[in-house]
């Protein structure tokens, strides 16, 4: 019988393969194994971001349950620090969400549901202009990058508007849930060929 770790690895491969497209880049799964949810402490996502080396062309993957969490993007640190919805740039409400980072500079995201942001469900990342060098995921076979691209979300008119029904890829919630519980060392940064990853996962079963 396959171990839980092996099953998680296969589910991870299935999700990546289902989302894969022609655009290159590195996935950074926000929050690693915990995904995007109420933070266990005030600094959890800040601590995660400090370990990331993020570049133009990379992608942030937010794994969360639609209707329970969302993602709000704001343009300034002041709005981010205040968890303010006064000037929302983007809002994503259908998980999981993949955000492509096309330009250098800081990005500010938080959950706009309830008091989740005040509780620490917020992350700021700095995007470097230099392209990322190729690296392999711990425990995964060496392979070329094959990262998916999510169509850009539409800009929000008022912050209260509900939208984005087609702005993010669809993944089976059971797969997304299992992926959130996968080993953070495997789940935090993805740079693998989906087909090769699926083959490797099958061999482990």
pLDDT in tens, 21-30: 445 689 999 9
pLDDT value at position 159?
35
pLDDT value at position 99?
97
DSSP, res 55: B
Diameter over CA atoms, the chain: 52
Q: Which of 124, 126, 116 is nearest to 40 (CA)?
A: 116
Is there a domain that residue 47 lies in?
Answer: yes
Distance of alpha carbon 55 from the chain centroid: 14
CATH number at residue 65: 2.60.40.420
Is there a domain that residue 202 lies in?
Answer: no
Number of domains in the chain: 1
Is there a domain that residue 58 lies in?
Answer: yes
Examine the pLDDT at 19 and tell me if it is beyond 90. Answer: no
Is there a domain that residue 54 lies in?
Answer: yes
Q: What is the pTM of this model?
A: 0.61
pLDDT in tens, 34-63: 999 999 999 999 999 999 999 999 999 999
H, E, C per residue of 122-157: EEEEEEECCCCCCCCCCCCCCCCCCCCCCCCCCCCC
* Structural domain for 174, as ranges: 4-194
Residues sharing a CB contact under 8 Å with residue 172, sequence separation 6 or more, in sequence order: none
Examine the pLDDT at 109 and tell me if it is beyond 60. Answer: yes
Write down the mean pLDDT value for the chain: 70
The Cα 100–Cα 96 span in angstroms is: 13
pLDDT in tens, 140-193: 333 333 333 343 343 333 333 333 333 344 444 444 444 444 444 344 444 444
Is there a domain that residue 203 lies in?
Answer: no
């Amino acid at each position: 019988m396959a171990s839980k770790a092996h099953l998680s690895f296969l589910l991870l491969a299935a999700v990546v393969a289902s989302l894969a497209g022609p655009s290159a880049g590195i996935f950074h799964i926000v929050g690693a194994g915990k995904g995007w949810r109420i933070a266990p402490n005030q600094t959890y996502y800040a601590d995660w971001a400090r370990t990331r080396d993020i570049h133009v062309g990379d992608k942030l993957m937010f794994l969360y349950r639609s209707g329970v969490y969302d993602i709000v993007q704001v343009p300034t640190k002041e709005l981010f620090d205040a968890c303010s919805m006064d000037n929302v740039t983007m809002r994503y409400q259908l998980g999981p969400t993949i955000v492509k980072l096309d330009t250098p500079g800081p990005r500010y995201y938080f959950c706009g549901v309830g008091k989740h942001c005040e509780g620490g469900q917020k992350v700021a990342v700095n995007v470097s202009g230099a392209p990322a060098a190729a690296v392999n995921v711990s425990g995964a076979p060496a392979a070329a990058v094959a990262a998916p691209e999510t169509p850009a979300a539409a800009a929000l008119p008022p912050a209260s508007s509900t939208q984005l029904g087609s702005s993010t890829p669809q993944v089976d919630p059971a797969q997304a849930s299992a992926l959130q519980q996968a080993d953070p060392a495997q789940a935090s940064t993805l740079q693998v060929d989906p087909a090769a990853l699926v083959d490797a996962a099958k061999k482990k079963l």
